[in-house]
Amino acid sequence: MTNSAHSPTGPAVLPVDLDEAAHRCLVAGFDGTAGVPDELKRLVDRGLGGVILFTRNVRDAEQVRRLTDELRAIRPDLLVGVDNEGGGIGHLVSAGAPDVPGAFALGVAEDPALTARCADALAGHLASLGITVSYAPVADLQHHPRNPIVRTRSFGAEPVLAARHLRAWIAATERRGVASCAKHFPGHGGTETDSHHGVAVDPRSHDELRSDLEPFRAAVAAGVPMIMSAHVVFPALDPERPATLSRRILGDLLRHELDFDGVLVTDALEMRAIADRYGEAAGARIALAAGADQVIVAVPHLEVTLACRDAVLGALGSGVLPEERVREAAGRVRRLAERYAVPAGEAAGWDTGAGPEAARRAVRALPGPPAVRGAHVVDLFPPPHPALNWGGEDLLTEVRAVDPTATGTAVTGEPADPPAVVARILRAAGGAPLVVATCDAGLYPWQERIRAALLSRRPDAVRVDTGLPEGGAACSYGRGRVNLRALAEVLTGV
């Protein structure tokens, strides 16, 4: 069915071309691994701009290829995207995603050519699955010690370093015919709140914020085709609204000062920074009016997407949302689709050794502890983030892969009885060497307390970090499988 043959339904009956333009401005999540839901088919037929895949849509590589083929059979210019940062932040583990350590480890390794090889591996894998939009790389700077969401997803705290690696990543992704997306403009690294969970505010002055803009400026200069907005309030830039809903930030700053003319996409509207205060539907309308070109509704409940769509159509019908703004946004999305919607061709192979090499170079950038064998490994880490994939990786598994005599205990999240956990660990360890790993313990005091209790009884224990470095004898700079394997090799002397 073509748009010209479709009679739009909803809160406003608009000209067919304007109805199609409004649908171009939406990116929808959905549920299932087999078949496209009928409601989604109807949205695609009316012009839906894109879909975003998550772990819930992935069983294996062949299944993903069938799914992307089916989506394009409905309409060939549909954009199919996924979050694909590496370092455990991705949704394609069961589809054979290349092991890549994530941005912070790449920044520590400090070799843009190696970053390009890692980005090429990720993009090559995407292209082989029929996915041509990658919501990566992260351009945020990690400089606030209590930031809960950026951390090892960032290339680091230095704008020049981040810019160097962003350029390498963007260029490598582009060569694969995959659209990259620098996020989260104008930077999420200066907050103490995760915008998935609440209103995030960056209280710094205009001058202090300038350094955070530099990686995005570099990404624009490198030709990045997409930028994603942050659900963060910057009082120095706009005291009223988060960046996603701010004309000052999206228009004056990004469009005019940074001269970006690609597709500006929002972070997911169901995140509580938007949903709790505005609601997803109002958020969609306000974001488009403020200058966004596409809004993402990542939840699999298509009724949320439909509510956002209806709010946009209603605002167009009443004149609250100017027609020319939606046509401008849809035009950018069409140009993006002309370049990227259809995979460039059969994806050539990629370098499977780039990720392990990068992870090892990061872990070995500083002298490590003496090697231990037959250790009892204690892995303390927070529960996985609900919006980010977690493939079940843990340090003990990776240590045992290179030293089968190792034993260990994994503690995922704060236990109900920490002293009992400490006692159980010490009994299990006996006289074996003890390794205590924590992940961002400064954000999770329960880890600090358990670590301190263990070290008070076993001062000979080797302390290591699996998030950002916090004084351990070694650091993996992330909890992707390849990060943890590189740390395991250092610990065991492999």
Residues marked active site are found at 196, 267
Asked if residues 402 and 488 have their Cβ atoms less than 8 Å apart, the reply is yes
CA neighbours within 13 Å on the CB side: how many for 461?
26
SS3 449: helix
Quote the CA–CA distance of 460 and 257 in Å, as a whole number: 55
Token pair for 50? 């894109």
Helix (DSSP H) and strand (DSSP E) numbers for the chain: 17, 16
Quote the CA–CA distance of 77 and 344 in Å, as a whole number: 13
Please spell the DSSP secondary structure of 364-424, one letter per residue. TTS--PPP-SSPEEEEEEPPPPTTS------HHHHHHHH-TT-EEEEEES--S-HHHHHHH
Interhelix angle 302-318/280-290, nearest 10 degrees: 50
CA 494 to chain centre: 31
Question: What DSSP element (H or E) covers 85?
Answer: strand 84-86
Please spell the DSSP secondary structure of 5-35, one letter per residue. G----SS----HHHHHHHHHTEEE----SSS
- Choose among 163, 181, 154: nearest CA to 340: 181
CA separation (Å) from 251 to 201, 248, 325? 20, 5, 12
SS3 203: coil
